[in-house]
Structures are given as C-alpha cells and as structure tokens.
Amino acid sequence: MQLTDVDTDAEFRAQVRDWLHDHVPREPRPMVDRRAGREFDLAWQRTQYDGGYAGVSWPSEYGGVGLGLGQQLIWYEEYVRAGAPDIGCGFVGVNHAGPTLIARADDEHKAFHLPRILRGEAVWCQGFSEPGAGSDLASLRTRGELDGDEIVVTGQKIWTSEADLADYQELLVRTDPDSERHRGLTWVICDMSLPGVEVRPIRTMAGTTEFSEVFYDEVRIPLRNVVGGLGNGWSVAMSTLGFERGTGFLREQLELARYVEDRLAEADRRDPVVVAALAVARAEVRAMYAMTLRMVSRSARGLDPGASASMIRLYYSQLRQQVERLVVDGADVDGVVLGRDALVLDRYLDGYKVTIGAGTKDVQRNIIGERGLGLPRP
C-alpha cells in the first residue's frame, strides 16, 4: 500500500489546502439556536459545493467530484488541518444516506436526492432504533402496511439525531406483519414533513437536544420511496451501517489526532506523566489511522474489509474517551466551569456517546468475534 502522495495526489492536496485556507468559515457555528446551526451547516456545505469539493468520491453525474477514496482521505486530512467545522446536521446525508443511495437506490432517487445533499439543500436523519430495538435492531416493530401504492407507517423511533432539523429520513419498518427478525423489513425514504410524523426532542446529560423521539401515526409514504426492494431492508440497512461505521467518521478520527497533537504541544513539560500519557495516545491514534488507511485501500481494490470497520469504530470510541479523560483531568475542572474549560467538559461529556452510537462497543466486539475471528454467534 502506498502511504505517501503520488504526484497527482500532491497536486490535489495543494489545491485543496489553498481553497480551504480561503473559504473555511472563521465565525463559530451557532450551538444553542439549532435552526441557526442548520443554516450554518448548509451554507458551509453549499460553499464546498460551489467550490467543486462537495462529495469528493461521489459520482460526478450526481454532483460529486468523481475522484477516489484516496482523494477523499486527502480532503479530510486537509479539512481538519485547516480547522474546518464539524459537518453538523449534514452528517447522515453526506456520510451514510447519500452513500446508501449511491450503492442501492435507483437512478430516479439518486438524481433527486444526491445533488440536494451535496448542495446543502436537504438534511437527513436515521430512523432505525426503537425503544425495544437498539442493539437488537432486527426486533423492530414499527409497522408499514401496504395500501395500494403507499406504505402506511405506524410506530415509534428513538434517539433519532437531528430529527428536529431533518427533511428526509432513512426509515426502517416491518412491511411483512408475519415476518420475524431480519426478514420482512423495508428501508424507505420518509419525508419528515408528511402528515402524521411527530418529532419530540430529548434533552441529554450534556444539556443538548440533538436527539428526538419520532412518532408515526398512519404516515402515508409512496411505495416508490422504497430503496433496495420491499422486504429487503435488512440488507440495505447493513449497507447504511457499513458506511456509518466505516468511512462515515474519517473526519472525527483526524480531528482526534489533531486534538491530541495540540494538547501535547501545549502540555506542561514539567509534568512528565501527562506528557507520556498524551504521547502514548498520539501513537495509538496514529495506529488507528493506519488501520483506516488499510481498510480504505482494501475497499478501493474491491476486497472485503471484513470486521475492520467495527475494529476501528471500537478503537476510536475507546481512544476518544481516554483522551477526553486525560484532558479533563489535566484541566482540573470542578464546580462551575467557564471559558475554555467549559469546552473541555463539553467534549468529555460528548465522548460518552461514541461508545453507543452506530452500535455499542459490545455490539462491535460481537461483530469482530463473529466476522473477524470466526467465533460462534452469541
């Protein structure tokens, strides 16, 4: 595997670096007013599209740049280097709904949705988890009854990130009432403005309302919104989760690497314990990124990445918490925290969610055991 840029990569990197230098927003993203946050995220997405850099590895016929995953990595490396903002509410659309549509949807859906995601005109959310179906997703019960050329959806989802801001949803429902487990599920595009969809935000321990419960009361969704075929939803959902756990969090990994570098640079050299712990964390983050490069390289050559997405996801989530803990201990925060230390505490609290979202650490371990090590199913 080639780990350094070839000539064309170096040229691409230089172009990207210059462009990001001139275009990265300098003002902070609004964090309290969620609608203002949405406008900020979409405007930044539109700027990337106008600059010719939205969807680096997406097909050019649907508005992407049409380059490979190698260039996509370069884009993210430079993106983080330039201090560009988190993707915010664009996460689902860009990182897994769009890739799922590219892989599994028909041309009509691709032509309609992909350019809208890239141009920053539509926000997506994911309606998979339910109160009784998180790790055990196959036990989901939200019903989709077939009625002519519509699916009538009734039920409830939970932990739907950004549902209050979303235009569309990746919705997984049970369309065969007699089916059990993985069979009889359907992945369908739900327009969040349809009558009968009700979004109720949930407040987290970090004080944010990024998640919601979503209720469906006889929501009539056109049958043509089904992606991948009726009853084939489990397979489409596995594609979605593959993107979410795999290439979907490249930026986060690179951001963690940069965060550790910055903390190491400013660490007090008279405290060798902290310096040593940060240095170990830096080595681990680099090792994780090497695993990611290997996974991307294998995928680009059409080879099965095996359980590597789960291994990287598990490694990342544990490292992220380890680093946040180190930094919060070093910042000596207790009681009322303001200014920079408040950000440290926010990051620390935020770090808890990464061992749960996109499958808990135990679920990732199960996948590694079964698919990576060939152990029997639990």
Ligand X SMILES: Cc1cc2nc3c(=O)[nH]c(=O)nc-3n(C[C@H](O)[C@H](O)[C@H](O)COP(=O)(O)OP(=O)(O)OC[C@H]3O[C@@H](n4cnc5c(N)ncnc54)[C@H](O)[C@@H]3O)c2cc1C
> Smallest distance from the beta carbon of 241 to ligand X, in angstroms?
9
Q: What angle do CA 202, 208, 214 make, to 5 degrees?
A: 25
Which are the catalytic amino acids?
Answer: 244
Size of interface with ligand X, in residues (CB under 6 A): 19
**Rama region for 199: left / alpha / beta (φ>0; ψ in -120 to 50; rest):** beta
Does residue 357 belong to the site contacting ligand X (CB under 6 A)?
yes
The residue (of 126 and 239) whose beta carbon lies closer to ligand X is: 126
Q: How far apart are CA 353 and CA 321, in angstroms?
A: 9
Does residue 159 belong to the site contacting ligand X (CB under 6 A)?
yes
Question: Which residue, judged by CB position, is nearest to ligand X in the bound state?
Answer: 134
> Smallest distance from the beta carbon of 37 to ligand X, in angstroms?
16
Name the segment binding ligand X (CB under 6 A); options: 49-57, 123-131, 193-201, 328-336.
Answer: 123-131
Question: Exactly one of 160, 186, 232, 310 binds ligand X (CB under 6 A); which one?
Answer: 160
Q: How far apart are CA 216 and CA 199, in angstroms?
A: 9
Question: Exactly one of 103, 206, 331, 356 binds ligand X (CB under 6 A); which one?
Answer: 356
Helix count and strand count (H, E) for the chain: 12, 8
Which letter, b or e, does each residue of 170-179 get, where b requires 16 or more Cβ atoms within 10 Å of its Cβ? bbbbbbeeee
3-state helix, strand, coil in the chain (%, to 5): 55, 15, 30
CB 177 within 8 A of CB 143: yes
**How many angstroms separate the Cα of 252 from the Cα of each of 173, 248, 299?**
30, 9, 20
> Smallest distance from the beta carbon of 116 to ligand X, in angstroms?
19
The residue (of 261 and 362) whose beta carbon lies closer to ligand X is: 362
**Rama region for 170: left / alpha / beta (φ>0; ψ in -120 to 50; rest):** beta
Does residue 359 belong to the site contacting ligand X (CB under 6 A)?
yes
Name the segment binding ligand X (CB under 6 A); options: 63-71, 110-118, 128-136, 308-316.
Answer: 128-136
Does residue 316 belong to the site contacting ligand X (CB under 6 A)?
no
> Smallest distance from the beta carbon of 11 to ligand X, in angstroms?
37
The residue (of 90 and 359) whose beta carbon lies closer to ligand X is: 359
Question: Exactly one of 243, 366, 367, 368 binds ligand X (CB under 6 A); which one?
Answer: 366
Q: How far apart are CA 63 and CA 118, in angstroms?
A: 7
Neighbour tally for 157: CB within 10 Å: 27
Question: Exactly one of 135, 272, 276, 343 binds ligand X (CB under 6 A); which one?
Answer: 135
Please name the amino acid found at residue 86: D
Does residue 209 belong to the site contacting ligand X (CB under 6 A)?
no
Does residue 232 belong to the site contacting ligand X (CB under 6 A)?
no
The residue (of 78 and 162) whose beta carbon lies closer to ligand X is: 162
The residue (of 91 and 259) whose beta carbon lies closer to ligand X is: 91
Does residue 134 belong to the site contacting ligand X (CB under 6 A)?
yes
291: tokens are: 């695993």
Footprint of ligand X on this chain (CB under 6 A)? 125-129, 134-135, 159-161, 353, 356-357, 359-360, 362-363, 366, 378
